[in-house]
């Protein structure tokens, strides 16, 4: 029984992972998450408006998913450098510069809402219902495969170990895409 189940699990999990990797927006979703949660927090307050919008626009124009993620990861170190080079300006200089970078759009909430509306619009236009249905099925299959692989885990069985690793990776990728969608 196990001889049949193991290749089955591996092929299902590998298929799901390939599907996740080929999904057209995982790179953008992950890169946006990195910028949102890691990079922006490292920047001086005065630069956040401008650089967030600039980097999000750049991500949209980078062709490969892996390059998008590389771009975002490299910005983590870049944000640290910007923070170190930053010299606080006077209050008036900060107001003037923020207004200049945002084109007068200094309302933080309005800015992020307009970006969220754009993401929502893009999602709606790409067969959202079908993609959600497939994602739910994918998560259920990956969960059961991971659970099965986990409870039968045996350090001497390399195939089960890889099935578990692949299942875990599939889950992580599904979670990232799911998080990006409900932002």
Neighbours of 129 (CB within 10 A): 8
Residues within the interface to another protein (CB under 8 A): 47, 50-58, 60-62, 70-72, 74-79, 81-82, 85, 103, 114-115, 117-118, 121
Closest CB to another protein among residues 50, 131: 50
Rg (CA), the chain: 21
Q: How far is the CB of 30 from another protein (least distance, A)?
A: 15
Q: Measure the CA–CA gap between 40 and 34, rounded to whole angstroms.
A: 9
Nearer to another protein, 57 or 130 (CB): 57
32 versus 160: smaller Cβ distance to another protein:
32
CB-wise, 86 or 150, nearer to another protein?
A: 86
Q: How far is the CB of 114 from another protein (least distance, A)?
A: 4
Q: Which of 174, 148, 177 is nearest to 163 (CA)?
A: 148
CA–CA gap between residue 139 and residue 143 (Å, rounded) = 6
Our CB check for another protein shows the closer of 60 and 175 to be 60
What contacts 60, CB < 8 A, 6 or more positions away? 28
Stretch (H or E) spanning 88: none
Q: Taking the C-alpha atoms of 131, 136, 142 and 148 in order, what is their torsion angle to the nearest 10 degrees?
A: -160
State the nearest-atom distance from the C-beta of 71 to another protein, in Å: 5
Joined tokens for residue 42: 């490292």
Which of 182, 180, 183, 163 shows the shortest CA–CA distance to 16? 163
Q: Whole-number minimum distance, CB 151 to another protein, in Å?
A: 42
Tell me whether residue 20 or residue 65 sits nearer to another protein (CB atom).
65
As measured in angstroms, the least distance from the Cβ of 86 to another protein is: 9
> What's the closest the beta carbon of residue 80 comes to another protein, in angstroms?
8
């Amino acid at each position: 029984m196990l001889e049949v189940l193991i290749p089955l699990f591996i092929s299902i999990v590998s298929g799901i992972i390939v599907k996740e990797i080929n999904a057209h927006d995982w790179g953008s979703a992950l890169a946006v998450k990195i910028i949102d949660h890691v990079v922006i927090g490292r920047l001086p307050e005065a630069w956040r408006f401008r650089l967030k919008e600039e980097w999000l626009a750049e991500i949209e124009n980078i062709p490969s998913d892996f390059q998008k993620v590389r771009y975002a990861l490299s910005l983590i170190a870049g944000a640290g450098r910007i923070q170190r080079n930053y010299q606080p300006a006077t209050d008036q200089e900060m107001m003037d510069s923020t207004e200049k970078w945002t084109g007068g759009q200094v309302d933080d909430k309005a800015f992020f809402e307009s970006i969220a509306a754009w993401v929502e619009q893009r999602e709606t236009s790409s067969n959202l219902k079908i993609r959600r249905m497939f994602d739910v099925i994918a998560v259920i299959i990956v969960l059961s495969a991971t659970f099965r692989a986990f409870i039968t885990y045996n350090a001497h069985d390399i195939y089960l170990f890889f099935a578990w690793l692949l299942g875990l990776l599939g889950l992580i990728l599904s979670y990232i895409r799911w998080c990006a969608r409900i932002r």
